[in-house]
Each structure stands twice: as C-alpha cells, then as structure tokens.
Amino acid sequence: MTSLNSDSANLGYRHPHLLGIEGLSAQEISFLLDLSGDYAKLDPRSHSYERLLDAHTVINLFFETSTRTRTSFELAAKRLGAEVINMSVAWSSIKKGETLIDTAMTLTAMHPDVLVVRHPDSGAVKLLSEKVDCAVINGGDGSHEHPTQALLDALTIRRRRGRLEGLTVAICGDVMHSRVARSNIHLLTTMGAKVRVIAPPTLLPSGVESLGVTAYFDMREGLRDVDIVMMLRLQTERMQGSYVPSIREYFHFYGLDREKLGLAKPDALVMHPGPMNRGVEIDSELADDIDRSVIREQVEMGVAVRMACLDVLTRPLRPSPEGA
C-alpha cells in the first residue's frame, strides 16, 4: 500500500484550516506542493492509496454551484477512504432563512472531520471556521480566495516548468471578480514569480498593484514574452450592470486566440480554472490544443492537491505511526 504518511509530514503546515493563500510562507506553500506532487505521482487505477481518512467524515458544504471543485474534493476524500456527504444549501436551508452559522452548527453536531465550504460572500468561510470544531477548507469565498485552485495551478506549472521562481505569469480577464486571481497572485508572488494582470479598466480592481503585480489594459502588450497565460472566466453572476460593451468586443480585445498568444514565449502554457466560456475569453480550438493548453492537467492536479490538503489537515487527529 502506498504511504505518504510520515511523521515529518505535518511539520510543514501547522494551521488548523486552509482559508487562503495570503499569509502563507514560501516554505508552507512548497510543502503543500511537494506533498501534492507525491500524490500526483500515484496511479489512480492502481487502487493503492493508503486509507488515511478511514472512519473520517468530510462534508462538502456548497452555498454556490460547483462541478469540478466539489467533485474533485469528493474524489480526493474517497480515495483516502473518507465518508463524504455533499450538501448544496443554496436552495434548501438558505431559502428557509437559516443562517450560515445555524447551518454550520447543525453540521458540526454531526462531528465531521473536515468541512469544505464554498460561499458567495468573501470572508464567510473564515467566519464559519471560527464557529466549528473541525478543519475547514475554503472551496471559494466570493471574490476573495480559492486556495486549492491556486495550489493546483502552481503544481501544474511546476510539473511543466520545474519551478515557479523567475517565471512571468499573465492573469487575464475578469480580475475584479476572481478569487482564483487573488489566490494565484498571493501564491505566485510569494514564490518569486513575476505576475502581470491584464483586463479592461472596468474589470481591474483599483490599487491592484499593491499586491505586487504589474497591470496592463492592453492584452497584446501584457502578453509579450510571458511564460504562462492564465485566462479567467467573465463572472457575470457577480456583475451588477454592464462591465463590457459586448461579448464580441470583449473577445476581440481580451479573448485569447493564436494571434495574441503569438506574443508570449513560443512555448508559453495556456491555463484556465474552468468553467470556460468558449469564444468569450478563450478561443475554443486553442483551449483544446494539447501542445499549448494544460487545462486538463489542471483538473487532474486538483485531485492530488485536495488529497494533500485533506491529509495534512486531518493528520493531528490521527495517532502518529508510533502510536504516540
């Protein structure tokens, strides 16, 4: 049976929860990426994962819709032997007027080991983590953070390029509403990458440069010589009013196509967290080009990253190998 469980493994991350990337050190991020990389090397079809989460319960508590993140956490938890309960609360308790905290208290009375929470409000997951007595993983809160997405993006880049330090990464599109952008900015700048953000003025938060990035309104200028092009979805569900003149115009100026990609390094990788709006922020054929696009690999790395996070956050609850 494959074991990644060593005594030293919880020395690298000593927090009870994973709420965001902001504030984590380069060592902590490297530790999580190394462990994720070890999980990524295991063959899922060999059915040889150690059941580290046997008799553990993971509750996926999603107040917002999700396909890949929820499924990815579910698969990761099940591969480690956990019981998984999926709860979509958007249309049930919330509609009946139950508050976030009431929902959390109800769930903790069932004694889960980990709560994976997605919520439309920034900060809601942190608030919840202060009220419950189990590990909490932020599965995306409003436009604030999506830490496991940034980790899986970094793992994908590291596997392809061997490092993060010194790379130039362009994050393009709806930066304003994107928790993916925020978590990636924190992670990549902490790890020594240079980050550019490219967006129309209406979709770039003011003062974004204080996060250590360079801002561009002109995509052609911003893509010049970058190593990685990370595209973001236009998050219309977070927009009140109109932020872009028309989809056609948006694609013309900010959609990634071969011509614009030609300005990046010849081997620049194309990434997207999904779900993609094909023909809006990315040319459909380019998204599927296995020579340039690593979008599928990002999904694959997502499971490995989530296994590592579940492993690390439940470790103190298990006896050490010596039974201490």
Binding site for ligand ASP (CB under 6 A): 140, 146, 179-180, 233, 235, 273-274
53 or 171: CB nearest ligand ASP: 171
Residue nearest to ligand ASP (CB): 233
In the bound complex, what is the minimum distance in angstroms from residue 210's beta carbon to ligand ASP?
Answer: 22
User: Which secondary-structure segment (H or E) carries 96?
Assistant: none
Say how far apart CA 183 and CA 26 lie, in whole Å.
14
CB of 272 to ligand ASP, least distance (A): 9
Q: Closer to ligand ASP by CB, 164 or 295: give it.
A: 295
Please state the closest distance from residue 143 (CB atom) to ligand ASP, in A.
8
Residue type, 290: I
Cα separation, 28 vs 13, in Å, equals 6
Nearest distance, CB of residue 118 and ligand ASP, angstroms: 7
Nearer to ligand ASP, 140 or 147 (CB): 140
* Cα gap 319→93, rounded to integer Å: 36
Q: How near is the Cβ of 255 to ligand ASP at its closest, in Å?
A: 15
- Six-digit token string for 31: 């530790």
Name the residue nearer to ligand ASP (CB basis): 147 or 273: 273
Q: Are 198 and 254 in contact (CB under 8 A)?
A: yes
Residue 79 CB-density burial (10 A; 0-12 exposed, 13-18 middle, 19+ buried): buried
CA distance 12 to 155: 17
Torsion of CA 135, 301, 293, 184, to 10 degrees: 30
- Kindly tell me which of 153 and 227 has the beta carbon lying closer to ligand ASP: 153
